[in-house]
Amino acid sequence: MKVFELAAVAFLRGREVLNVRKIGTHHVILPGGKIEPGESAIDCAVRETHEELQLLVHKDDLTPLGRFTADAANGDADEIHCTVFTAPWPRSGHPAPDNEIADYEWTDLLNCRDDPRQAPLLVNCVIPVLQARGVI
């Protein structure tokens, strides 16, 4: 079984979360990626956010949400283990996706569960925890 160790950031803007879609894929996912050898999850989240969206995020901006196991969204693995952080979206303007990101969107967390483009990590793990904590 192929398993990836990942870190991701759920940028929250009201009841919306920022999602990206990588080139050649169908699902939208949280910004993030694979943890490199010797790298912490939080360092990976900071690095991947900058690489994918040109956003400078500091460790102090990130709040741990949890470490989750989910089906891989885009078929590149069987399963993912992902440490997810949250961060508020205080920025004006827009992210600047790099060459691996086809597009991005703000996803309404209360109305996306039936959208087949949504990654299992978001629908089955992140949303229930955010709801249980009263964030959405």
Q: Max Cα separation, the chain?
A: 42
**Percentage of residues in the chain with pLDDT exceeding 90?**
81
Q: Which of 14, 55, 16 is nearest to 32 (CA)?
A: 55
**Quick check: 92 pLDDT over 70?**
no
Grade residue 1 by pLDDT with cuts at 50, 70 and 90: confident
User: How confident is the model over 32-43, as pLDDT tens digits?
Assistant: 999 999 999 999
Grade residue 136 by pLDDT with cuts at 50, 70 and 90: confident
Write b or e for each residue in 92-106: b if 16 or more Cβ atoms lie within 10 A of its Cβ, otherwise e.
Answer: eeebebeeebeebee
H helix runs in 65-126, sequence order: 120
Q: What is the pLDDT of residue 8?
A: 98
Average pLDDT of every residue of the chain: 93
List the beta bridge partners of residue 71: 79
Contact 82, 32 (CB under 8 A): yes
Give the separation between CA 40 and CA 83, rounded to whole angstroms: 10
Contact 30, 9 (CB under 8 A): yes
Rounded to the nearest angstrom, the gap between the alpha carbon of residue 45 and the centroid of all alpha carbons in its chain is: 9
User: How confident is the model over 16-60, as pLDDT tens digits?
Assistant: 999 999 999 999 999 999 999 999 999 999 999 999 999 988 999
Please report the sign of the dihedral spanned by the C-alpha atoms of residue 60, residue 45, residue 119, residue 5.
negative
What domains can you pick out in the chain, each with its CATH number?
3-132 (3.90.79.10)
Q: What is the pLDDT of residue 127?
A: 95
